[in-house]
Amino acid sequence: MLSRRLSSLRTMTIPKHSLSDLPLPPPATWLTRNLTPDPSTPSVAEFRNKVLTNTPSLQRRARLLSAESHFSYVTPMPMPFPYDIDPPSPSDEVQNKGEYIEKWLAQREAIHNEKLSQTSPLRKYFPRNRDQARELIGLSETGLRDCLPHLDVGDAFSLIGAPTLANSFSEEGDGAPSDSEGEVAARRDLVDVLSGYAVLMNNESESTSFAPWSLRYSGHQFGSWAGQLGDGRAISVLVTPHPSNPDLTYELQLKGAGRTPFSRSADGLAVLRSSIREYLCSEAMQALGIPTTRSLSLISLPALQVQREKAETACIFTRVAPSFLRIGCFEAFNGPTEMFFFGGGQQKPNWDGLRVLGEYVSKHVLKLNLGEGEAWGTKLVLEVSRRNAKMVAGWQAYGFMHGVINTDNVSLLGLTIDYGPYAFMDVFDSFHICNHTDEGGRYAYKYQPNMIIYALRALLNALAPLIGAEHEFGDRAVPAGWANDISKEKIDEWRRKGLELRPELERVAQQETADEYGRLLRKRLALRRVEPTDETRLFKPLLDIMETHKLDFHGTFRTLSTFKPSLLEHQGQPNGKAATKGVPPDLESFITTLLAFTPQKQTMQYDQATTEWLQWLDKYAERIESEKDLWGTDRDAERTAAAKSANPRFVLRQWLLEEVIHKVERDADSGKRVLAKVMHMACNPFEPWGAEGDAREESDFTPEEKEERRYCGMGDTKMLGFQCSCSS
C-alpha cells in the first residue's frame, strides 16, 4: 500500500519543488500587499532588519494593535512561555534589563540566511541558539494531493512507515530514511520550515518582499463580546498557487509555533492531543464532502513540554486553506463597543480599515467578479451566508458538532475551521453538547444552524454602516476616506439602512441550509427526487426513532444502506417465530440489526421500537418505489452502492481519537504508523473496513481486519457522548 501511494505521488507529471522553492503567486494578490500591517512591523525590510535583530519582543508581546491594522508580521519561535531567560554571570551587571531581554530573544530568532536555488523566490533563515528535536509524525496524502501536488516531500512517507493498526511494533514496514540525498534534503527542508525552526523570507524590493504573518481579528465568544483576539498561536508562513489553477492559492499556516502579539497570557503553543484531533478531522470532513480547512503535516517537538491540565508534548500542525480570514476580521474594525483591559480590549472603529478588508475579500478571497466601482457590501454578506449555510448543513447531515462556534471561528469562505472540542454524533441526541465548557448548551448539535446565523448577523452588524453608505452613494463602492469627518448620527443612519439586509441574510442562510441538508439526507437514503414532504415524512421521523431508542447515528444510516422494499412484501404471512408478530424473518432480522446499535439493550422497548421501524420502513419503501424509473435494471444493488458511498463505515469517534492519541503519546515510532492508518481510513470512510459483510468466521480474519472492525465500532460505552475541553 505504501509503495503504491509513493509511486502515485512520484509519477505525477507536475514539476516538484521542495517547500522552500515553491513558487509564490503574483504579489498583487498577497494578503500582506493588500492589507495594512501593524505599525510596529510596518514592512518586511524593517521587520527583518530591525525588529528581529533589535526589538524582537514586539512580535511576542501581547498588545492591542493600532485600529487600522489587519495583521502583524511575526516569525515562528516555539519555546516555553514565560521565557526562561538565562541571567548573566554573577560578575556581569545588567545596566538595562530591557536591552538584555531583547538581545536574548534576538539570539534565538531565525535571522541567519541560507541561499537557496537561483529560481527560489525566498531565502531560508535559521536561528543559532535555538534547536530542538523535530519528529515528523504525520503527513496528509490527500491534503498534499489536492492542495500542494507540486510539493516535493522527499522520503517523508517512507520515514513514517507503513500504515497499520495491528502491526505497529513490527519491524516490517517500519519507517526508514531514503538513500537518496535529494529525497532526504527535501524532507528535511519540509520539517525545518513546518516545525517553526526555519523561516522563509526574502530580500527583494518592497513590492515583492515576503515574511510570515498573523491576523488580527475580534469576536463574540459564547455570545459575549471579547474584543481583539487574533492569531494567538497561528502563523501563516507561505502562500503558493495551485499548479493547475494559478488563480487558486493555498496558504500554509503553522498552528502552535509560538507567541504572537495576539497570544495574550497564553504560550502560543499547541499540544500533541489537539493537533492530532485537528489533523485527522480536517481530512475526514473533506472525505465526507463538508467544506473545511485541510491538513498537511504534524511535527512533534518531544523535548518541549506544554502545561495544560497536565504537562503534555508540544506539536506543530500545518493546515492549508485558500484563506484563513474569518468573520471576526470584520468585527475588529467595527465592534459593538470599545473596551480596554490588561493584555487585551477593543479599539475604536476604523472605517477605512473596514473598507480595505472588504475590497480585498471581495476581489481576492470570495472572487465576487464585480464591475469597476460596483458596491460589494451586500454581495459579500450574502455570499458568506450562502457558504456558511452550506457548511452547517453538512455538519447536521453527518452529525458533526464543532463545539465553539464563536464569531472568530467562522470562516468567510464557509470552511470548517479551528477544530477544538469537536465530536461526531454517537447515540443520536439532538441536544448533545460536545464541549464541556459549554455549560448552557449554546453550541449543542440542534442549535448549530442558529449559531451560524448569529455569526452572520455579527458580520452584517460590522458592515452595516458601509452597506448603508453604498446605498446612499447609488449602489457604488465607498471610496477611500468614505467616513472621514462623518457625524455619529450619519453613521447610525447608514447603520440602520444597512441592517435592513438582515431579513434577506436570514432567508438566504435558512433556505440554503434547508436545501443542502435535504440534498445530503436524500443522498444518505439513496433517494434521487426532491419531495417537499421528505423532512416531515422521512427525515425527522427517522431521527426521532434514533433519539427515542438511543440508536447510533452512523451505524443506523449504514445499515439502512442495505434495505430493500422487498423485505416488506410478505409482512403478515405465517412463517415460524416471526409469524406471531406478523413480521417476516428477514425483515425481523433487519430490524434486529438496526436495534443492535444501542448501548442500552437491557432497557430497549423492543415491541415499540419494532412497530415504529415498521411504520417508517413502510413509508421509506413507498418512497423508494416511487423512484423505480430513476434506477437501472438492478435497482437494489445500485441503491445499496449509492447509499454506501454516502454513509461512512468509519467515523472519527471520541473513543478512537483518545486511543490513537495515547498510542502516539506513548511511543511515537509505532504510534505514527497507527496514525497513518487511521488517517487513511478517515480519508476513505465509505470502504468496507474490517471485512464488512464478509461471511467468514471472525477467527479467520487477519489481525489487521479485526482491528479495522474494532475501529469501526461504537467502542466502550463509557466514552459515548464524551466531552472535550477547549484546552489545546
End-to-end CA distance of the chain: 33
Other CB atoms within 10 A of residue 169 CB: 11
Instruction: Work out the widest C-alpha separation in the chain, in whole angstroms.
Output: 100
Q: How far apart are CA 706 and CA 123, in angstroms?
A: 49
Q: How far apart are CA 20 and CA 501, in angstroms?
A: 45
Query: For residue 485, is it left (φ>0), alpha (ψ between -120 and 50) or beta?
Result: left
Q: How far is CA 172 from CA 161, 167, 670, in A?
A: 9, 8, 12
- Nearest CA to 675 out of 135, 262, 228, 31 is that of 135
Q: Report yes or no: 646 and 287 within 8 Å, Cβ to Cβ.
A: no
- Nearest CA to 419 out of 277, 617, 216 is that of 277
**Helix, strand, or coil (residue 269):** strand
Q: How far apart are CA 252 and CA 212, in angstroms?
A: 10
Rg (CA), the chain: 27
Q: How far apart are CA 673 and CA 167, in angstroms?
A: 9
Q: Report yes or no: 136 and 191 within 8 Å, Cβ to Cβ.
A: yes
- Nearest CA to 397 out of 267, 285, 549 is that of 285
- Nearest CA to 109 out of 132, 84, 86, 126 is that of 126
Q: Cell numbers 478512537 correspond to what residue? A: 656
Our answer to whether residue 38 is catalytic in this structure is no
User: 398: buried, middle or exposed (CB in 10 Å: 19+, 13-18, 0-12)?
Assistant: buried
Q: How far apart are CA 499 and CA 11, in angstroms?
A: 54
Q: Is the peptide bond before 82 cis (omega within 30 degrees of 0)?
A: yes
Q: Report yes or no: 421 and 722 within 8 Å, Cβ to Cβ.
A: no
Distance from chain centroid for Cα 696: 39
Q: Report yes or no: 9 and 141 within 8 Å, Cβ to Cβ.
A: yes
Q: Which amino acid is at 219?
A: G
- Nearest CA to 230 out of 217, 213, 220 is that of 217
Q: Output the CA angle 485-490-496, nearest 5 degrees.
A: 145
Residue 302 cell numbers, joined: 518531544
Mark out the alpha helices in 74-231 (DSSP H runs). Answer: 97-106, 141-147, 156-160, 181-194
Among candidate residues 408, 426, 438, 552, the one labeled active-site is 408
Q: How far apart are CA 572 and CA 588, in angstroms?
A: 12
At 249, which helix (H) or strand (E)? strand 245-255
Residue 600 cell numbers, joined: 442500552
Query: For residue 454, is it left (φ>0), alpha (ψ between -120 and 50) or beta?
Result: alpha
Q: Output the CA angle 139-143-148, nearest 5 degrees.
A: 100
Q: How far apart are CA 47 and CA 685, in angstroms?
A: 45
Q: How far apart are CA 477 and CA 465, in angstroms?
A: 12
Q: How far apart are CA 435 and CA 417, in angstroms?
A: 16
Report the interhelical angle of 448-472 vs 488-498 (nearest 10°): 120
Residue 591 cell numbers, joined: 430490524
Q: Output the CA angle 497-502-508, nearest 5 degrees.
A: 135
At 112, which helix (H) or strand (E)? strand 112-114
Catalytically annotated residues: 408
